[in-house]
Structure 1
Amino acid sequence: MSVEEQIKDIEEELARTKHNKATEHHIGTLRGKLAKLKEEQIKRSSKSKGEGYGVKKEGDRTAVIVGFPSVGKSTLLNKLTNAESKVAAYEFTTITAIPGMMEYNNTRIQLVDLPGIIEEASQGRGGGKQIMSVARNADLILIVLDATKPQHLAVIKKELYDAGLRLDVEKPNVMIKKLSKGGINISFTKTLTKTSEETIKALLREFRLSNAEVIVRSDISESEMIDAILANRHYVSSLVVVNKVDIAKPRIPNAMFISAEKGKGLNLLKQKIWEKLDVVRIYPREPGKEIIKSKPLIARNGITAGDVAKKIRIKEFRYAKIWGSSAKFQGQKIGEQHKLCDKDIITFY
């Protein structure tokens, strides 16, 4: 039996099996087998010939634009950046990845227009492997929909999920240490409500982890445990952008509604992209000198003074002073663990 046939059989069995306490363990085992087969399928298709898009990451952060063909991705890229992505009113216009640079709040955000994805893109159909490879390296996924086809959202999310992308969720807090002997030893810091210890052990054995020390620090499901075992998932934020709202306006929660062609809603979209990237602007300042407001250090939200010192290659410092919203008072003396906020000014001594 082929891998594809095995996958189909398991998916059919999962579909007809009701989830309850009696079937919980069996369902978990089936999901483990299914994930293992899909990984095998992905690895096999990745070995087939075909070049990647080779997009060089530039700027402070990267966001990729994904969607079905002819939803207006190229028009959107051209409106938001200085890129020249070919635009036409027929499908499959973009046949390679087109990058462009959007500048907002002194942050250089690289936007990449990817070829339109289709069903089974995660399995390699329609150049899906190359598309997903670029998407896995992004800091933000922009899902662009045609306002007249809101049903495409579920398809796109499924393809991204099957390709190993986890949108808008935290990485499971699980530590797995392989051992040479001793069996499986699991400790929990949270009560499990979505699965059981027996199911977790069965999943570990399914992936040939018969000897391991495991610490589970979150209330995880079977799927999340599989992700933790495989350890090859990409956790990333996403933003749904509904284009062509001059034609229709479907109800999609938390989406941005625009008309790329008419320029409607683009300023608000730029702001939302910047917010979704969850970055802060930090201004390192040498003692006695002025800051350059047009050249902040762009960093992840939650960065500490010590992190900033490493980024600007300051090996040692006795203390630092800050001015900005993270300071109790302006010019506060701080240590390396102090967390900085957007627009903070910091000087090291």
Structure 2
Amino acid sequence: MSTILDKIAEIENEMARTQKNKATAKHLGLLKAKLAKLKSELLLPKSSSKGAGDGFDVTKSGDARVGMIGFPSVGKSTLLSKLTETESAVGAYEFTTLTAVPGTVVVHGTRIQLVDLPGIIEGAKDGKGRGRQVISTGRTCDLILIVLDAMKPLTIKNIIENELSGFGIRLNKTPPDISFVKRERGGLNFTCMNSNATLDAETAHAICKEYKINNASITVRSAANAEDLIDVIEGNRVYIPALYVLNKVDGLFIEELDVITEHMPDAVPVCADHEWGLDELLERVWEKLSVTRVYTKPKGQLPDYNEPVVLRGERRSVEDFCRRIHKDFVKSFKYAWVWGKSVQHNPQRCGLSHVLEDEDIVQIVRK
């Protein structure tokens, strides 16, 4: 009897043999849907609440969590030690780190938790080594640092990306703008509003049929493809920004490094042993996290510049600010006085929906 891994291999081989063109789009979409279902069954078993897919037990702390993922002996432990002064086992042999080791670094008033994860190997997403635990913990991160040995073939980068993708992690991507609503009747209704989308009605219907979905409304507003629709139907994908840390660059010539970084815009060259490029790495981490620092100002007092309230991404309204302090602040909210780049005059009276900018000052007036 074929195992799930055998079935996955069969489908991947068939996809590799199939020529990609408009005539085969429906067939490839169907194969991708079957592959996604098998991988979900393999990686996220429903029969067990605790299993090989669970991550390491590391308490999340600080304003953001950054996970370091890479093959063994690329220097993740040395990086953690240099950046956070946290002692993580370092050795000139593979699999020095056997569990997740957290450390904390403060960048521009933002407390960032760095997590050194054990080295993964090819096939991690299929359960080899402690790969599933590593990648499961990676799913909880706000940013992933893929640490690479600059002296080794950069094809390893593609292997790691494939392992993470196989576990539902989408790097440096935004969720596809696809509205997918199941209905009780009415059949499948497909509407595409973006001329750059490669997903068509026939492929979408084939994918839905594989998932035994007969009634649904699908509206595509982005340049989406079959994989994007599958991701929306699966509903368990995470979209995480990433940086590629090229460690051990002391062994490269400048010309070699220039060629690498030219084709890898999110690469950050460092040498952990010599502490080269670590400040630049922290700056890039802080920028990639899309941090907004907001300072509190109690009535009649000066603003508190020592402990900013940190908001991330698009969640930076006055309401988000209130919730970070305490959920009751939203219930008792009357209005806010705001100073800074987000207002036209200082101070300006604002409501809960007002969007804040970095280093704004906020005073909450409650009922």
Note whether the superposition's TM-score is higher than 0.5: yes
Once the 2 structures are TM-superposed, how far is the Cα of residue 237 of structure 1 from its aligned partner?
A: 0.4
Once the 2 structures are TM-superposed, how far is the Cα of residue 244 of structure 1 from its aligned partner?
A: 0.5
**Residue of structure 1 in register with 2:321 after alignment:** 308
**Residue of structure 2 in register with 1:345 after alignment:** 361
Q: Are residues 230 and 45 of structure 1, via their aligned partners in 2, closer, same or farther at CA, if it must alter by over 3 Å?
A: closer
Q: Are residues 46 and 144 of structure 1, via their aligned partners in 2, closer, same or farther at CA, if it must alter by over 3 Å?
A: farther
Q: Secondary structure at the match of 1:41?
A: helix
Matched, 1:56 2:68: no
Whether the aligned pair in 2 keeps the contact of 1:177 and 1:214 (CA below 8 Å) is yes
Q: Are residues 283 and 95 of structure 1, via their aligned partners in 2, closer, same or farther at CA, if it must alter by over 3 Å?
A: same
Q: Secondary structure at the match of 1:158?
A: helix
Whether the aligned pair in 1 keeps the contact of 2:338 and 2:360 (CA below 8 Å) is yes
Whether the aligned pair in 2 keeps the contact of 1:45 and 1:123 (CA below 8 Å) is no
- Give the one of 211, 214, 219 matched to 1:215: 219
- Residues of 2 paired with 1:308 and 1:237: CA distance? 23
**Residue of structure 1 in register with 2:133 after alignment:** 130
- Give the one of 288, 301, 308 matched to 1:289: 301
**Residue of structure 1 in register with 2:198 after alignment:** 194
The amino acid that maps onto 2:235 is: A
- Residues of 2 paired with 1:109 and 1:226: CA distance? 33
**Residue of structure 1 in register with 2:14 after alignment:** 13
Deviations 1:132-174 (A, max 9, x none): 1100000000000001112211111111111110001011122
Matched, 1:317 2:366: no
Once the 2 structures are TM-superposed, how far is the Cα of residue 284 of structure 1 from its aligned partner?
A: 2.1
Over 4 Å off, 4+ runs? 44-52
TM-score normalised over the length of structure 1: 0.95
The amino acid that maps onto 2:3 is: S
**Residue of structure 2 in register with 1:83 after alignment:** 86
**Residue of structure 2 in register with 1:225 after alignment:** 229
Whether the aligned pair in 1 keeps the contact of 2:296 and 2:304 (CA below 8 Å) is no
Q: Please list, as runs of the form range in 1=range in 2, the aligned pairs for 1:151-166 lying within 5 A after superposition.
A: 151-166=155-170
Across the two proteins, how many residue pairs are aligned to each other? 349
**Structure 2 gaps, min length 5:** none
Once the 2 structures are TM-superposed, how far is the Cα of residue 292 of structure 1 from its aligned partner?
A: 1.6
Once the 2 structures are TM-superposed, how far is the Cα of residue 99 of structure 1 from its aligned partner?
A: 0.4
**Residue of structure 1 in register with 2:112 after alignment:** 109
Farther-moved stretch of structure 1 (257-266 vs 325-334)? 325-334
- Determine what percentage of the aligned residue pairs are the same residue: 42
- Residues of 1 paired with 2:91 and 2:18: CA distance? 46
**Residue of structure 1 in register with 2:38 after alignment:** 37
Whether the aligned pair in 1 keeps the contact of 2:72 and 2:118 (CA below 8 Å) is yes
Q: Secondary structure at the match of 1:321?
A: strand
Q: Secondary structure at the match of 1:64?
A: strand
- Give the one of 156, 175, 178 matched to 2:182: 178
The amino acid that maps onto 1:90 is: Y
CA RMSD between the two structures: 1.9
- Residues of 1 paired with 2:197 and 2:89: CA distance? 50
